[in-house]
């Protein structure tokens, strides 16, 4: 009953978002691409811990084929985690799943939590899906610095918007996002993270990935064909319009 109620609530939210169904494809693609990068890194690089910050209702530990020895940690507000646990009470996760309630906006609590996890793991993969866009640049910088302070945090997976995308999203969904506007989309792209200890390991453009996965916008292939005739600088700018980024720790 809980899972059904959750799906019903999700549909209600979707109906209240302008053009929600038509513009759902980027989030579908984001989820799938992140799944691929998570599973590949776990399989190839010996990840022993996955740390999912602001995990929300992410159900990856229940739906992905994870190693039984993998430690998966979900961090979010206590009420969010409690609600998720109640919905998934009848389901069995893969791996060793832990729920750690915390307010990640509390700097001292956050650093203490990260230090504790960092000390108890050796090859940690961090996820912040759908989080950074709602933070100020200074908050993102502090989080990046806090994460890189832990040598065992080897990888960091994020989704990243460009200033162009933020303008388009806030124009389309402005009223719906009044309480939680999207504000982080650095003009320098992934180079924003370099001074804080993270370098780009892999970048997956959402648009290109949507075509690969056949979950894209109408006329996408036509737009890609036309785009081949644009100057290289414009093509590169469009590739960085929106993407999934896998960072690696610089040290």
pLDDT by 10-residue block (mean), the chain, 251 residues: 47 52 80 97 97 96 96 97 94 95 95 97 97 96 98 98 87 62 93 98 95 81 70 77 96 80
Inside any domain, residue 1 = no
Which pTM value belongs to this model? Answer: 0.86
Q: What is the DSSP letter of 103?
A: -
User: Contact at 8 Å (CB) between 88 and 118?
Assistant: no
Strands (E), the chain: 49-53, 71-76, 96-101, 124-128, 153-161, 198-205, 242-249
Q: What is residue 174's predicted lDDT score, i.e. its pLDDT? A: 60
Q: Which residue, among 91, 89, 88, 38, has the nearest Cα to 67 in the 3D structure?
A: 38
Assign residue 84 the CATH number of its domain. Answer: 3.40.50.150
Inside any domain, residue 56 = yes
Inside any domain, residue 13 = no
Inside any domain, residue 3 = no
Domain that holds residue 71: 22-249
As given in the structure block, the two tokens for residue 15 are 């109906």
Inside any domain, residue 9 = no
Q: What is residue 9's predicted lDDT score, i.e. its pLDDT? A: 53
Q: Which residue, among 23, 16, 34, has the nearest Cα to 243 in the 3D structure?
A: 34
Q: What is residue 223's predicted lDDT score, i.e. its pLDDT? A: 66
Inside any domain, residue 80 = yes
> Can you tell me the distance from the alpha carbon of 169 to that of 173, in angstroms, rounded to the nearest whole number?
6
Inside any domain, residue 146 = yes
Q: Please state the domain count of the chain.
A: 1
Q: Which residue, among 139, 199, 129, has the nearest Cα to 161 in the 3D structure?
A: 129
């Amino acid at each position: 009953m809980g899972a059904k109620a959750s799906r019903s609530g999700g549909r209600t939210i979707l109906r209240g978002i302008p053009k929600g169904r038509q513009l759902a494809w980027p989030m579908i693609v984001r989820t799938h691409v992140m799944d691929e990068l998570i599973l590949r890194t776990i399989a190839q690089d010996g990840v022993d811990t996955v740390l999912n910050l602001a995990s929300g209702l992410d159900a990856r530990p229940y739906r992905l084929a994870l190693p039984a020895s993998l430690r998966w940690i979900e961090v979010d507000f206590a009420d969010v985690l409690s609600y998720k646990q109640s919905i998934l009470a009848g389901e069995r996760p893969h791996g060793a799943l832990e729920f750690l309630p915390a307010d990640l906006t509390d700097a001292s609590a956050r650093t203490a939590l990260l230090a504790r996890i960092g000390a108890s793991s050796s090859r940690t993969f961090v996820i912040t899906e759908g989080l950074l866009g709602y933070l100020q640049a200074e908050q993102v910088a502090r989080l990046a610095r806090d994460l890189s302070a832990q040598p065992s945090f080897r990888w960091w997976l994020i989704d990243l918007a460009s200033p162009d995308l933020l303008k388009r999203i806030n124009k389309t969904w402005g009223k719906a996002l009044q309480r939680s506007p999207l504000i982080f989309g650095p003009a320098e792209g992934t180079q924003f993270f370099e001074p804080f200890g993270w370098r780009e390991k892999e970048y997956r453009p959402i648009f290109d990935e949507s075509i690969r996965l056949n979950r894209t916008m109408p006329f996408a292939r036509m737009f890609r064909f036309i785009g081949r005739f644009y100057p290289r600088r414009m093509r590169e700018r469009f590739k960085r319009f929106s993407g999934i980024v896998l960072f690696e720790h610089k040290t």
